[in-house]
Amino acid sequence: MRKVYKGSAINVSSRTLGEKTFAAIAAVEGLKLGPVSAKRLSSLKERNLTPAQKRAEVLRAYIGSKGR
């Protein structure tokens, strides 16, 4: 039995969306990936990074571009 945290009807494991599910939701919402982001994502897939390394790369891209 999965643990459900107080105040949430959703358990922790059900909060992560797969790539296809996210793409389907984005399509319905009318969201489109920009060319720079698409290139970055394809580069991340080709390099076979761990999820933590992928998150770090994406954060670096956004933090670096906004000068925060």
pLDDT of residue 58: 87
Domain count, the chain: 1
**pTM for the full predicted model:** 0.52
Residues 6+ apart with CB under 8 A from 56: none
Model pLDDT for residues 12-50, shown as the tens digit of each residue: 555 677 778 888 999 999 988 889 888 988 898 899 888
Query: Is residue 29 domain-resident?
Result: yes
37 is a domain residue: yes
pLDDT higher at 14 or 61: 61
For 18, phi then psi, to 5°, come to -80, 170
Q: How many residues does the chain have?
A: 68
Question: Does residue 5 form part of some domain?
Answer: no
Domain that residue 41 falls in? 12-66
